[in-house]
Chain A
């Protein structure tokens, strides 16, 4: 699944996401100072909760749950603009192999237990239940809107004790998004979500995203010099 130019591809059946507002002071508490949270309203940042159902990847079949904060992308002259940018601060996967791969290759901050992800696919909606050894972590429901084939460019920013990095991520597939506020989330009190528990998250998503039969392509990591100076 790796190409000669260092890109890595992950095929998935479904990827879903919900954007939830929460107070910006909680976002700033964990964001590197160089990253600015996106604020749909002054004082409100965005918690992104995403789940993937991968079926073909360098580490086989696995599921992934990602908690991120939406941040302003790095916009540079002459470089294609990302649609949006994320700072993932907590990931969990369903297999050890996928977890180790993501930590080593992408410096993604992981919850160190294998979790279980259950997908309920309904008529016009999809729900995931994430659990750790039977203990609930997150339940999230996303609804569909119009579908279209897209090829979107995103940025991710990673930060660990070794340094700070960014990567372009392409997402191609059948895509639906809406701001109809029909979905929802329950964030349970659990080790993975401990950080989020006191964030006063609004549990109605202002945006719901769903991609089917898609391909996620990670471009090679870039080290961020400005972070390294810190």
Chain B
């Protein structure tokens, strides 16, 4: 007979995830805090928590930051930031923001539908509408609030939101808030989208992204549009990671595929390629007018700071005036891809400026993250449940502002650490 199995008292933090701490058995809402903090406090000393390390410099090709485990200040090659066109710290952008600070003060001091709309907000919306070739653009204070307000503002109980399974939390939360029925189709799979659409009746919205942030892969837009149209569904395309980057003029994946008119709702953010903050919905004037009343995440938030709006407007102008920024970005992306391939690094299905560096070892990803930090490279670990089990990775974001030397140094550090640790052979 086997011996009795003792209950475990020592905790392996990786045996748990956030879903373990969603409910507790008591009537006291605080009863979940102790078990959660037991887990959290076990995770941190093991180095399993490499997030929210404070930076003390702009998100450029190198950064100064305070690393999270020993609180040491370090200078690192930065392959983590979204600043795809290097615009967040461009002199012209900073000057525009400073001028807006002098003119308007720090904040909008009101909801955009009450006292918070300033000239600069209207100028930004008009400039974006011209750029996107759409009747109207509505600006939101964050990218998250854009999808939340857009989807919950339009969809209703009994309607259907059919979304890619890898869609951003803001799409999911917008759908939840709308109280519409929600279904997810398998990632980038038009056949599964069709299967899901076949099961629905009534109003339908298909929500997809141009480029997915965890894998850096593009959506198969022509195939997805064809299926959605076949079933009379409206299409929302979130170009958070592809606007101002993809297409001959930077209008995104929809421009790349020549499908700008087939997509009903164009979403984008200012925090990625433009290096600012906020988001937008581009579409018809009728959609704009309706959302003005029903996009509650905008109605009940303070308007985007005029300082940020002015900086974003200048960044947009620079992006339009300097197509060489995108050329430089794509040249850097090609260079990075070549260097990573030379080193034999697994980058999954990436086709964009985002490269998942596939480690596929959930237990070692944080340890590797620390070794990369010590070696001089800032990369963010991504682990379950943000990605599937055993698909842990580091996420590399390439910017037009990276120098070839910075990219070389980053790849060299990455390859050396992965090789030393037996991830690369």
Is A43 among interface residues, defined by CB-CB distance under 8 A? Answer: yes
Residues on B with C-beta less than 8 A from A152 are 15
Say whether A153 contacts B35, CB under 8 Å: no
Say whether B389 contacts A179, CB under 8 Å: yes
Tell me what chain A mostly uses at the interface: helix, strand, loop, or mixed.
Answer: loop
Considering the chains assembled together, what is the distance between the CA atoms of A174 and B35 in angstroms?
A: 28
Interface centre among B19, B31, B34 (most CB of A within 10 A): B19
Say whether A170 contacts B1, CB under 8 Å: no
Contact of A153 among B7, B21, B183, B184 (CB under 8 A): B7
Report the nearest B residue to A224, measured CB to CB.
B25
B-contacting residues, A139-189, CB 8 Å = 145-146, 151-153, 168, 170, 172, 177-180
Residues on B with C-beta less than 8 A from A131 are none
Contact of A72 among B5, B22, B38 (CB under 8 A): B22
| Interface 1/0 per residue, A190-219 and B, CB below 8 Å | 000000000010101011000000010100
Say whether B11 contacts A81, CB under 8 Å: yes
Considering the chains assembled together, what is the distance between the CA atoms of A206 and B39 in angstroms?
A: 25
| Interface 1/0 per residue, B358-391 and A, CB below 8 Å | 0000000000000000000000000001001111
Contact of B388 among A5, A44, A168, A179 (CB under 8 A): A179
Is B26 among interface residues, defined by CB-CB distance under 8 A? Answer: yes
Say whether A38 contacts B19, CB under 8 Å: yes
Is A116 among interface residues, defined by CB-CB distance under 8 A? Answer: no
Smallest beta-carbon distance B9→chain A, Å: 6
Say whether A43 contacts B390, CB under 8 Å: no
Is B199 among interface residues, defined by CB-CB distance under 8 A? Answer: yes
Is A29 among interface residues, defined by CB-CB distance under 8 A? Answer: no
Residues on B with C-beta less than 8 A from A134 are none
Smallest beta-carbon distance A181→chain B, Å: 8
Is A122 among interface residues, defined by CB-CB distance under 8 A? Answer: no
A-contacting residues, B172-209, CB 8 Å = 172, 175-176, 181-184, 186, 199
Say whether B35 contacts A215, CB under 8 Å: no
Report the nearest A residue to B172, measured CB to CB.
A42
Is A11 among interface residues, defined by CB-CB distance under 8 A? Answer: yes
Inter-chain contact total with CB atoms closer than 8 Å:
96
Q: Count of chain B residues with Cβ under 8 Å from any Cβ of A?
A: 39
Tell me what chain B mostly uses at the interface: helix, strand, loop, or mixed.
Answer: loop
Is B2 among interface residues, defined by CB-CB distance under 8 A? Answer: yes
Residues on B with C-beta less than 8 A from A170 are 5, 7
Q: A75-B25, A77-B35, A200-B199 are in contact. Are A83 and B15 (CB under 8 A)?
A: yes
Residues on A with C-beta less than 8 A from B51 are none
Report the nearest A residue to B384, measured CB to CB.
A179
Is A120 among interface residues, defined by CB-CB distance under 8 A? Answer: no
Considering the chains assembled together, what is the distance between the CA atoms of A153 and B26 in angstroms?
A: 20
B-contacting residues, A1-60, CB 8 Å = 1, 3, 5, 7, 9, 11, 23, 36, 38, 40-44
Considering the chains assembled together, what is the distance between the CA atoms of A154 and B16 in angstroms?
A: 12
Report the nearest B residue to A9, measured CB to CB.
B2
Q: A9-B2, A180-B390 are in contact. Are A43 and B7 (CB under 8 A)?
A: no
Q: A7-B4, A170-B7, A217-B4 are in contact. Are A43 and B182 (CB under 8 A)?
A: yes
Is A123 among interface residues, defined by CB-CB distance under 8 A? Answer: no
- The 5 tightest CB contacts between A and B, nearest first, are A179-B388, A74-B25, A43-B182, A77-B34, A72-B23
Show 19 residue pairs from A and B whose CB-CB distance is below 8 angstroms, ordered by the A residue.
Answer: A9-B2, A11-B2, A23-B183, A40-B385, A41-B165, A41-B172, A41-B184, A43-B183, A43-B184, A72-B19, A74-B24, A74-B25, A75-B20, A75-B23, A76-B31, A81-B16, A83-B15, A84-B20, A179-B388
Hey, which bits of chain B sit against chain A, CB under 8 A?
1-2, 4-5, 7-9, 11, 15-16, 19-26, 31-32, 34-35, 38-39, 165, 172, 175-176, 181-184, 186, 199, 385, 388-391
Known: A170-B7, A179-B388. 20 other contacts (CB 8 A): A1-B1, A7-B5, A36-B22, A42-B175, A72-B19, A72-B23, A74-B23, A75-B21, A76-B26, A77-B31, A80-B7, A81-B11, A81-B38, A82-B20, A151-B5, A170-B5, A172-B5, A178-B389, A178-B390, A179-B389
